[in-house]
Structure 1
Amino acid sequence: MFNGKAMRLKALEAGLVELTLDLQGSSVNKLDRPTLDELAEVVRLLGTRGHEIEGLLIASAKPAFVVGADITEFTAAFARPESEVADWIGYGQRLFSALERLPFPSVAAVNGLALGGGFELALAADFRVLAADARVGLPEVTLGLCPGWGGTVRLSRLIGAEAALDWMLAGKPQAAARALELGAVDRVVLAAELRDVALNLLRLAASGELSGAAERSRKQQPLGDSQERLAALRQRLGGKLDARYPAPAAILDAVIRHAGLPLDEALRVEVRTFGALAKSDVARALIGLFLGEQLVRKKARAWSGKAEPVRRSAVLGAGIMGGGVAFQSASSGVPIVMKDIRGEALELGLKTAGQLLDRQIDKGRLDAAGKQRVLDNIRPALDYAGFGEVDLVVEAVVENPRVKAAVLAEVEDQVAANAVLTSNTSTISIDLLARGLKRPEAFCGMHFFNPVQLMQLVEVIRGSRSSEATIARTVAYASAMGKTPIVVGDCPGFLVNRVLFPYFNGFNRLLRDGVDFERIDRVMEAFGWPMGPAYLADVVGIDTMVHADHVLQEGFPERMGHDGEPIMDALLASGALGQKNGRGFYEYTVDASGRRGKQPAAAARALIAGRVVEAVEVSDEEIVDRLMIPLCLEAVRCLEDGIVETPEEIDMGLLLGIGFPRFRGGALRYIDTQGLAVFAAKAEAHARHGGLYRLTEDFRARLAAGRGYF
């Protein structure tokens, strides 16, 4: 009947037809524009032959039903005027409504995932049968959007406004059992029985034993909720929403507004809501991050595809980082040798791993047998016995170039000729550490972030002599551990720390201008950072911050030097280490019930007051600019210097490595959102603060040409 590039339509038994979704050249079904055009053709065909068709089965030939719309189309589509965006999303909405109005019943057989537009397609059918392991949902909120192909309307009318809002505001896929419990689907069956059960259900509907018209009407009738109930729902849910993300509030408002409207009017409310959200800066940022994540994963898969697998690894040093690496490797199924020169350090490393595993048991994610399997994958060692069998070594000793170089040279003689050596350094040059190695081509950096078990990013640092095979194997190992690796070039601070420390340089200058650190923290947390710079410095450790700052000053003295002694150096000299010893910018306490507390340290305030050069009145906006301009311009320089290949990788690195505010999309997206001209004007207004505020020639060329970074 129809055979396209994304779907095919064939006759089954008398009067029944099957639409099979099977996008050629793709591992998944997605609703890109060509697929929607084919669906429109199929729906027209079905409409013209409605007199001879008694029922439609919709199924997928892929492991998943439909994963959603093609998000790669969003950037160009959303660049159009809002009215054209509404027409663009309205096309799919009208198409699904036409499918829903066909003069015979329809059943969607949903396997795997049906997300976003894929679930909205299933909602347009009269009945839905789910495989027991399938999941459905409307995750558009995670992109700063609302469902736009009828999801806000049909789901709320199937399961009620409150349950539908719970789904849409969280954006999380829902298990089949929960979807059945709420009435979003009609049957849940074993995956092997999915097609047969769906087909039998279609036969019942076609014969009239089940009323497809009644199911259709249930999705189309206005909700019966009173205005008082809806107002209470708005108040209860609205109070929990983050105002920096407009999509949740817009979804809540749309559902409340269209609850009592006829179907067509309700759908128009949804289209207008989608159109407004699609033009928001937050949607652009979140969509950009989604596409950036896909790019980073694609590049990691490409590296891993040409890598020798890591079957056994080793970590040198059982400290916080080394122990975290051992835990992560063992948890992901790669056995690891954890070596240290002190037995008590090994005991502490194993104890730490046990505590992390106990937390997983407490959360129901692991049982005692699973814990033991992980611990069995960690072999503590005081010597190099067994190192000849490992494929990759992570050096995680103290952040001192001489110590690291000595340890690396020592272990190089203990491993096989094809083993890879890596250093978990946050700042030290890979080329510097490679000088004493016999096989520098088999060496690279592998920078984990603390705490290892929570932080997703791993910087894989390519030295000038690191081979492709070395980088590939290291990326593959990081991926196998469940991390997100990004390959970066060798320079002081690599990507994340190189970009972060200009931010702290700006912070130091604000302190010397008499701006209170507690106020700076409040302003930057309101801007979107998980913690302000003073609190972050305490969490990282004042000693660690000072060491890294010295490395960056030495590497980039023309920009990252300081006028006089930095405040953090003075704090460190006074004995303040931050949370490590309870004294930093803040003082840290633990009450009798074990609750942690912090308050500004009077000693820190007094120390800073004695180093104020000139008290200056600054606005909150100036605080933001004086911290963010240096950070953003260093990100620009990293791109220009080829430290990272793409803007997407820079922004993903900052998101995953230092918690850059997600709704702002990353440093380069933040520049684009303001506009290069606006950003340039701000930078030039602060040029007196030094080289970190100076625009690059490439930036000026982009500005003149009207080009952004995305």
Structure 2
Amino acid sequence: MANTPDEQVVRTQLHGKVLLVTVDNPPVNALGAAVRRGLADAMERAETDAAVAAVLIVGAGKSFIAGADIREFGLPPQPPLLTDVCKRIEASKKPVVAAIHGAALGGGLEVAIAAHYRIAVANAKLGLPEVLLGLLPGAGGTQRAPRLVGAAAALDIMLSGRHVGAAEALKLGLIDRLAQSDDTLAEGLAYAQELLAANAGPRRSRDATGLADVEASRAAIAAARAEQGKKAKNLFSPHRIVDAVEAALDKPFDEALKFERTLFMQCLESPQRAGLIHAFFSERDVAKVPEAAAAEPRVLKSIGVVGGGTMGAGIAVSALDAGLPVTMVERDEASIARGRANVEKVYDGLVAKGRMTAEAKAKVMARFTGSTDYAAFAEVDMVIEAVFEDIEVKKAVFKELDRVCKAGAVLATNTSYLDIDAIAASIARPQDVIGLHFFSPANIMKLLEIVVPAKVSADVVATAFALAKKLKKVPVRAGVCDGFIGNRILAVYRQAADHMMEDGASPYAIDAAVRNFGYPMGPFQVSDLAGGDIGWATRKRKSATRDPQARYVQVADRICERGWFGQKTSRGWYQYPQGARTGVEDPEVLAIVDAERQRAGITPRAFTEEDIMRRYMAAMVNEGAKVVAEGIALRPLDVDVTFLYGYGFPRFRGGPMHYADTVGLPKILDDIRAFAKEDPLFWQPAPLLVQLVEEGKNFASLNKS
């Protein structure tokens, strides 16, 4: 008889008295409806078959069970619910063993902790990362995990979303045994047979004693609640996770399980869940670009970096961390020594924190070569230029690269604003030139804007995306324009902030509103962190082409003229006494703002927090729509990912374009038209935004095309 689809994804086979239940739903054994049905049917067979004395659950392929089936997100739930499957596993009158290899995440770990015994091989990774999608573990995870490992450890695992290695899982009590080999099936069968020989019956997680010390459990819950109050004040699901663990302490198991389900449904209906899941899918979809589909990447086994400053050193560290050999070229011996020192400083910091051994650092640095001669790049596969942001300086570098680099080497520029088409046109091989806009610090920030000039070969673009994957960066394809996606949009919403400041909102009120919206920092704090001189140089560079009719706020120039460039000079929009990282408000800055208002003939008016954010977001979304319409960004989701990973946009809001969809595009457009009555030149509605409103569509509709 042919297998039904459910039987194909969950197979059962009798090994002596042990019923082997194999989940086989490639690529990661996700818990789709067919898997849930298959597991329920397997438990039914185990209960009714007298030949079965124990059950062993394993995963085929590379994982145990890596979580929910993301294809079911947003669809009506299909029975059986995972909660019911886990109850059925736990209620079994015959011992159930989970043998774990690879990922046991989310629902996968909930299945494992519903089993009576757990064994894991050394490579296993266990976790309950639902918080990262705006959810909580909804199939008993918030109830069984605290009973197994205690409230403090369970809260840490659930609130961080982190993966726990097998050795730590054993120490915590999340598993019972660490396998002696990587043969999951053999180890699991041996464990099941050992349990049978010892007459071990079911041992249910619901009866575990991890919460027996009520005082310690309450202290852990109170500490988690206080921490989330500071760290996750804008978020919904972390607080519900704490509530669910508290219920594990205060309610009988079955009642607490129902409460968990109620909280899970609240999370599911939260707009934050939709924002976080949009961010999750967008991060996956952003790498789907036409060039990567059309061409294979070139060989990429070695990297060259021009420049050993902060950015060049950060890029070098990223490449070294990915296992690539790096050759750095600087103009003289002193500069190359500084470049090497900048690279070593990162690793010295890790050694000092105990996150790296001195031996490991030495091995990494053995792959680093410094030189003052461009000829050192003769055999590298890709060179990334990270010199001063001046197009003539960069053209001079590319002239040297054109001279010394081998045929087929990728020549990349790490520019934030400059015309990459002009750089490419200055050499004989424009097809090899691409922009790689890293964000500072380059070894930490995840965003990598891959800027695609007109004449570049498709395989060079594919190579850039392959590099991003090696470096564990999130790549976004961008077209060539001043500032590409992120900095171009930033320039506009920063202007909107400047306008509000001159019109009556203090820079500190604007920063506070932006932080309360969910950003880690406001725009004036960011300016101080990046260095006010950088924006000042850009404004001076663009002054000749600025529309004389456009409003120009001069407050930032007045601050820079005083040599106040932010944190590096201990003063900018804020004061940073004794090198403090957090600024304090500066009355002299407010006096400069007042003087500039008087010079411009502006009578200040009051702005509420809502007023500030409506203008701030309308400017961001409007420019985002222009960037999409011009093809600078392929889709609205590319704008979203750029801002999530490069500009601190609150992840739970999904990105600016997703946020606009949740607010409603007609409302955004109405706001822009209202603001345009004051300043029609700045507030010109993006034609794409107008078109979408007229057609009753949203930005999400463009992500599907």
* TM-score normalised to structure 1 length: 0.90
Deviation at 1:602, TM superposition (A): 4.3
Q: 2:141 & 2:380 partners in 1: Cα distance?
A: 52
Q: Could you say what secondary structure the match of 1:677 adopts?
A: helix
Task: Indicate whether 1:185 and 2:184 are aligned.
Answer: no
Q: Which residues in structure 2 correspond to 1:133-144 (within 5 Å)?
A: 133-144=123-134
Which piece of structure 1 moves more, 104-113 or 224-233?
224-233
Equivalent residue for 1:17, pick from 16, 19, 28: 19
Match 1:404 to one of 394, 400, 413: 394
Q: Which has the higher mean CA deviation after the structures are superposed, 257-266 or 130-139?
A: 257-266
Question: Within 5 Å, which residues of 2 pair with 1:306-317?
Answer: 306-317=296-307
Residue 275 of structure 2 is matched in structure 1 by 285
CA distance in 2, matches of 1:440, 1:204: 67
Q: State the AA in 1 paired with 2:20.
A: E
Q: Aligned pair 1:585/2:587, yes or no?
A: no
Structure 2: distance between partners of 1:528 and 1:575: 31
Distance 2:565 2:306 in 1: 25
Query: In structure 2, what is the equivalent of residue 604 of structure 1?
Result: 589
Give a deviation string over 1:554-587, Cα, whole Å, max 9, x none: 88x67x9742453223333343322333332123
Q: Is the 8 A contact 1:492 1:551 kept in 2?
A: no
Residue-by-residue CA offset, 1:315-360 (whole Å, 9 max, x unaligned): 2222222222223223323222222223322221111111111011
Q: Which residue number corresponds to residue 643 of structure 1?
A: 632
CA separation in 2, counterparts of 1:65 and 1:470? 37
* Partner SS for 1:680: helix
**AA aligned opposite 1:7:** V
Give the drift of 1:275: 0.4
Secondary structure, in 3 states, of the residue corresponding to 1:34?
A: helix
SS in 2 for 1:10: strand
Question: Per the alignment, in what secondary structure is the counterpart of residue 259 of structure 1?
Answer: helix
Closer, same or farther in 2 for the Cα pair 1:533/1:671, shift >3 Å? same
Q: Is the 8 A contact 1:501 1:552 kept in 2?
A: no
Aligned to 1:675: 664
- More off after superposition, 697-706 vs 129-138: 697-706
Q: 1:188 to 1:251 in 2, by over 3 A?
A: same
Amino acid at match of 2:9: A
**Do structure 1's residue 361 and structure 2's residue 372 form an aligned pair?**
no
Unaligned runs of 5+ in 1: 78-86
Count of matched residue positions in the alignment of Structure 1 and Structure 2: 689
When structure 1 is superposed on structure 2, of 533-542 and 163-172 the one drifting more is 163-172
Q: Equivalent residue for 1:32? A: 32
| Inter-CA distance 158–331: structure 2 relative to 1 (3 Å threshold) | closer
C-alpha displacement at 1:249, in angstroms?
A: 1.2
The residue correspondences of 1:465-476 to structure 2 (distance < 5 A) are 465-476=455-466
Aligned equivalents of 1:561, 1:71: Cα separation in 2: 50
Q: Partner of 1:251: helix, strand, or coil?
A: helix
CA gap 1:199/1:691 in 2 versus in 1, 3 angstroms: farther
Aligned mates of 1:334, 1:152 — CA distance in 2: 42
| 2:104–2:125 CA contact under 8 A, matched in 1 | yes
Question: Deviation string for 1:398-445 (max 9, x for gaps)?
Answer: 111222223212321121221121111100111122222211111111
Shift of the 686–72 alpha-carbon distance from structure 1 to 2, 3 Å rule, reads farther
- Residue 567 of structure 1, aligned match among 539, 552, 555: 555
- The letter for the 2-side match of 1:51 is A
Alpha-carbon distance in structure 2 between the residues aligned to 1:377 and 1:52: 59
In 2, Cα distance between equivalents of 1:186 and 1:374? 37
1:505-516 superposed matches below 5 A? 505-516=495-506
Q: CA deviation at 1:227?
A: 7.7
The amino acid that maps onto 1:130 is: A
AA partner of residue 69 (structure 1): A
Aligned counterparts, 1:530-545, within 5 A: 530-545=520-535
Structure-2 change in CA distance of 1:302 and 1:105 (3 Å): farther
Q: How does 1:410-425 map to 2 (within 5 A)?
A: 410-425=400-415
The equivalent position to 1:268 in structure 2, one of 258, 264, 281, is: 258
SS at structure 2 position matched to 1:471: helix
- Paired position in structure 1 for 2:226: 239
What is the rounded CA distance, in whole Å, between the counterparts of 1:582 and 1:229 in structure 2?
Answer: 44
CA distance in 1, matches of 2:294, 2:144: 42
Q: Which residue of 2 aligns with 1:460?
A: 450
TM-aligned CA deviation for residue 464 of structure 1: 0.8
The answer to whether the 8 Å contact 1:303/1:475 transfers is no
2:329 and 2:323 mapped to 1: Cα distance?
A: 18
Q: Deviations over 1:185-215 (max 9, x none)?
A: 2211223354334223323444561121xx1
Q: Which whole-Å CA distance do the structure 1 matches of 2:110 and 2:291 have between them? A: 30
Query: 1:312–1:334: 8 Å Cα contact kept in structure 2?
Result: yes
- CA gap of 1:223–1:396, structure 2 versus 1, over 3 A, is closer
> Which of residues 546, 557, 561 in structure 1 aligns to 2:536?
546
Letter in 2 for 1:606: A
- Asked whether the equivalents of residues 300 and 479 of structure 1 are also in contact (C-alpha less than 8 Å), the reply is no
Distance in 2 between the 1:70 and 1:671 partners? 28
How far apart, CA to CA, are the structure 2 residues paired with 1:353 and 1:134? Answer: 33
Of 644-653 and 460-469, deviating more is 644-653
**Structure 1 CA distance for aligned equivalents of residues 233 and 582 of structure 2:** 27
Instruction: Provide the C-alpha distance between the structure 1 equivalents of 2:206 and 2:661, rounded to a whole number of angstroms.
Output: 42
Is the 8 Å Cα contact of residues 9 and 18 (structure 1) preserved in structure 2? yes
Query: Structure 1: how far apart are the matches of 2:293 and 2:571?
Result: 44
Instruction: After superposing the two structures, state which structure 1 stretch, 283-292 or 322-331, moved more.
Output: 322-331
Equivalent position SS for 2:154 = helix
Tell whether 2:657 aligns with 1:658.
no
- Paired with 1:696 and 1:34, the residues of 2 have a C-alpha distance of 46
Label 1:662 to 1:365 Cα distance change in 2 as closer, same or farther (>3 A): same
Cα distance in 2 between the residues matched to 1:224 and 1:367? 37
| Cα deviation digits, residues 367-416 of structure 1 (max 9, x gap) | 22322233332322222223221221212221112222232123211212
1:686 partner SS: helix
Letter in 2 for 1:410: E
| Counterpart Cα distance in 1 of 2:530 and 2:604 | 28
Q: Deviations over 1:121-142 (max 9, x none)?
A: 1122121111133121211112
1:333–1:105 CA distance, 2 compared to 1 (3 A): closer
Tell me the residue number matched to 1:81: none
Identity of paired residues, percent?
31
Gaps of at least 5 residues in structure 2 are 701-705
Matched, 1:64 2:63: yes
Pairing of 1:425-444 with structure 2 (within 5 A): 425-444=415-434
What secondary structure sits across from 1:192 in the alignment? coil
**Alignment partner, residue 703 of structure 2:** none
Which amino acid letter does the alignment assign opposite residue 245 of structure 1?
L
Call closer, same or farther: CA 1:46–1:297 in 2, change over 3 Å.
farther
2:168 is aligned with 1:166 = no
Stretch of structure 1 that moved more, 291-300 or 187-196: 291-300
> Judging changes above 3 Å, is the alpha-carbon distance between structure 1 residues 597 and 239 closer, same or farther for their aligned structure 2 residues?
closer
| Structure-1 separation of matches of 2:207 and 2:549 | 66
Give the distance between the partners of 1:657 and 1:182, measured in 2 at CA. 36
Paired residue secondary structure (1:482): coil
1:599-642 CA-partner distances (Å, limit 9, x unpaired) = 33444333222111221111111112222211122122222222
Q: 2:399–2:426: 8 Å Cα contact kept in structure 1? A: yes
The code of the aligned residue for 1:625 comes to R
Structure-2 change in CA distance of 1:289 and 1:561 (3 Å): farther
Mark the CA change 1:584 to 1:202 in structure 2 (over 3 Å): closer, same or farther: same
Aligned to 2:617: 628
**1:113-132 mapped onto 2 (5 Å cutoff):** 113-132=103-122
Report the Cα offset of residue 243 of structure 1: 2.2
Amino acid across the alignment from 2:576: Y
* Separation of aligned partners in 2, 1:531 and 1:561: 31
Deviations 1:239-270 (A, max 9, x none): 11122111121111122224344443222111
